[in-house]
Structure 1
Amino acid sequence: MQERPTQQAYDAVVIGGGPAGSTAATLIAQAGHRVLLVDRERFPRFRLGESLMPATYWTFERLGVLDKMKTSTFVQKHSVQFFTKTGKGAMPFYFSEFDCHESSQTWQVDRSDFDLMLLEHATDSGVEVCQGVNVKDVVLDEGRKREIQLEFEGGARANIEAKVIVDCSGQTGVIGRKLKLKQVDPVLQHASIYTRYRNAWRDTGRDEGATLILHTNSARSWFWYIPLPDNQVSVGVVGPVDYLLKRGDSLEKVYHDELAICPEAARRVEGAERVFEIKAIRDFSYISKQIAGDGWIMAGDAFGFLDPMYSTGVFLALKSAEFAADAVNETLETNDFSAARLGQYGPRYVAG
């Protein structure tokens, strides 16, 4: 990784170094194109979204990181289990009972390590990666000029040309914000209050790495319980914004009030050491009015974010990045950077 771009122009510039950005950049570079990836943060950095889905296996295989996942310290995940408000657990849903392929086993990841691994793999694949870089503006002229205006640490600036800009900037939504494309769902407006514990209760055997969904007595909220490396667990409560964040109480009080009405979550963390401050994030569901335009395309949370219950975030980031990379590679090969060409994958992605 480096401080500044080495060139003035690239085939593709990717905004954002999360799973979507790293995946898209890697696949475009592996096709033989010149790729620059920029991110405003420096890795490793914290992110939620620790629980993966089995379908991520195929993207890992395509990227060439499957062996790294298999030999990592990430917790193996074989199932998901739901608990009622009284603490009664349903039978675990074992993925292998529906698919006997090894892809039925996935992982619970510490996103700081996972995202860094993908970013380093992008570098190894030939992507130029610059961290600590702010995107000040993107120029999307109808005259086919695409340019990204960057600001580096210390204040220096540079304009970089690109044949295609791939927006993987997450909820920041660089292009969506510029073109006013984001549509927020007025109903699905959730918030999460979360923390981490060490030495909390963990099940045994193949249940040790299960994602648990635990409902509270309020019927308006639920907890996730995700085992992580280093004997830690991620524990967070999800509910409507007006329910969790507009009480006038501190995050600590709201979190513990919710924990008190979730008997199974409370039992599992009793006596455990809290190793992370209690934080909150708003999980507004939204989607962009369009997924691509002339010379640009979106992937991951830059395009849309859905309800967090089913751990789809990283999977959708990876899958949309695959689609986007395929579209970009096709446009670079045909020299057709039109919205119609780049946006071909949109209907398939939205349809699931």
Structure 2
Amino acid sequence: MIDTNNKTQVVVIGGGPAGATVGTLLAQQGVQVELFEREKFPRFHIGESLIPETYWVLKRLNMIDKLKHSPFIKKYSVQFVSDTGKQSAPFYFHDNKDHDCSQTWQVRRSEFDEMMLRNAEEHGVKTHEGVRVLDVLFEGDKAVGVQIMDEDGNKREVRADVVVDASGQTSMLLNKLKLRVPDPSLNKGSIWTYYKGGKRDAGRDEGATTVLQVENKKGWFWYIPLHDDTVSIGVVGDFDYLFKGRGSHEEVFFEELEKCPGAKMRVENAEQITKVFATKDFTYKAKQAAGNGWVLIGDALGFLDPLYSSGVLLALKSGELAADAIVEGLKKGDTSREQLAGWEADYLVGMERMRKLVCAYYDGFNFGKFVRRFPDHRGDITDLLIGDLFKDSLDKVFESIDTMKVESEAMAE
């Protein structure tokens, strides 16, 4: 039997960082929010590395003190290792911006995501775990609520003024409305696992993210130190290269590890503590971020490559911008696409800047060579790496990247 006597102002689908963010910020403004998460937290999720610009949204969420008192490893920098094993100088975030935001964290997502969800509850979000959203309900082209099913199979409808889809890459609205647009330039996949006892540097370099290119330049490894002496390590490459005509995921992972001495050295005396995982569906974005009565945020709106650890930042930022637009819309009695998508254009410009930096890396961009050629851009490159994406001045960096690419091609002829 379906109970249809339920009404709230906003329904949020998904309890990850995007959903927790939008829910918390709405509840802070007195908006009634019901959040539905199909899994029970804590639950496993990949994507452990935060970048500094997450600070500002986390501050609005009242999460900073909780993170400071958490066991998470502090992260001060990112470093790149070329296919020949040459290491770039670390990009220390404090050197570019002397502020608390320049220290961030490497997080175990099961713990971080649960902290975010409990924080949402503390701010007044009504959360429901182990509840599946079966459908988003429409009247004409306007979303008016959701149909849900609990663990016992009981179904009911929840009506709402706005439905926010924060359900990740399996997004219901993304699929229902056929909004997914793949990015053929970034058709990548990844294979990863976890080790205990992996090598890590000392002092402020202990929590650095390291990006290591494999010898044939057909992929790269991330190496992320976590607390409890655990490290996350994974390889990213073209989909066809990693997954077609090769062995099991585990066999491919170790074949690629052999081609990356820097990564292999870091785990040669460590113990693998989990199975090997794989993801085969990477970069895409939605045709639009919102419609009448509905909004997409986080991975439901789009996903970039994991190269610069931008996933959580984009989840938090889209959740923040969507929340502000929803609050304004509810006050005006306007939940149209025009109102709910007012932030979309500027957000997508920032996302595109990060995408350009990702594409440059896959085209052979070398951070060390670039900074030596254009020393005035070191701060701009660091801005991009920390996620300070939403300023027009950064576009000059890409003009210089293109200049260096042309110079390199001319020398190769």
TM range, smaller chain:
over 0.9
Any conservation in 1 of the 2:78–2:210 contact (CA below 8 Å)?
Answer: yes
Of 321-330 and 7-16, more deviation after overlay is shown by 7-16
CA distance 1:246–1:332, change in 2 (3 Å): same
Offset of 1:263 from its aligned partner? 0.4
Aligned residue among 317, 322, 327 for 1:329: 327
**Shift in Å, 1:271:** 1.4
Aligned partners of 1:275, 1:87: CA distance in 2, in Å?
Answer: 26
Hey, what does 1:183 align to over in structure 2? 181
Report if the CA contact (8 A) 1:221-1:240 is conserved. Answer: yes
Q: Does 1:19 align with 2:3?
A: no
CA distance in structure 1 between the partners assigned to 2:65 and 2:322 by the alignment: 24
Aligned twin of 2:220: 222
Gaps in structure 1 of 5+ consecutive residues? none
Matched, 1:124 2:128: no
Question: Which residue matches 1:47?
Answer: 45
Counting matched residue pairs gives 348
Deviation for aligned residue 1:89: 1.0
Superposition deviation, residue 140 in structure 1: 2.0
Moved more, 205-214 or 7-16: 7-16
Tell me by how many angstroms 1:248 deviates. Answer: 3.2
**Structure 2 residue 299 is the aligned partner of structure 1 residue 309:** no
Give the C-alpha shift of residue 306 in structure 1.
Answer: 1.1
1:83 paired with 2:84, answer no
1:195-253 deviation per Cα after TM superposition (whole angstroms, max 9, x unaligned): 00011101001000000000111211000000001010000000011011113301111
- Greater strand proportion: 1
Spell out structure 1 runs of 4+ moving beyond 4 A.
none
Q: CA deviation at 1:144?
A: 5.0
Partner letter of residue 70 of structure 1? K
- 2:184 partner letter: P
More helix by share: 2
C-alpha displacement of 1:6: 12
8 Å Cα contact 1:85/1:263 also seen in 2: no
Identity of aligned residues (%): 50
Residue 297 to residue 145, structure 1, CA distance change in 2 (3 Å): closer
Is contact 1:142-1:294 (8 Å) kept? no
Unaligned runs of 5+ in 2: 351-413
Indicate the SS of the match to 1:249. Answer: coil
Q: TM-score, normalised by structure 2?
A: 0.83
Distance verdict in 2 for CA 1:201–1:159, change over 3 Å: same
Give the whole-Å Cα distance in 2 for the aligned partners of 1:130 and 1:64.
Answer: 22
* Contact 2:12-2:33 within 8 A present in 1 as well: yes
- 8 A Cα contact 1:283 1:308, kept in partner: no
Distance 2:26 2:273 in 1: 39
Tell me what 2:56 maps to: 58
Partner of 2:288: 290
Q: Which amino acid aligns with 1:254?
A: V
From 89, 111, 114, the counterpart of 2:112: 114
For residues 75-130 of structure 1, what are the alpha-carbon distances to aligned partners after superposition, in whole Å with 9 as ceiling and x for unaligned? 00000000012222111110111001111010000000000000000011111100
Q: What TM-score does the superposition give when structure 1 sets the normalisation length? A: 0.97
Shift of 1:7: 7.2
Match of 1:237 in 2: 235
TM-superposed CA distance for 1:141, in Å, is 1.5
Contact 1:148–1:161 (Cα < 8 Å) also in 2 = yes
The alignment yields a C-alpha RMSD, in angstroms, of 1.4
Residue 319, structure 1, aligned to residue 298, structure 2: no
Tell whether 2:264 aligns with 1:279: no
Q: Distance in 1 between matches of 2:309 and 2:143?
A: 38
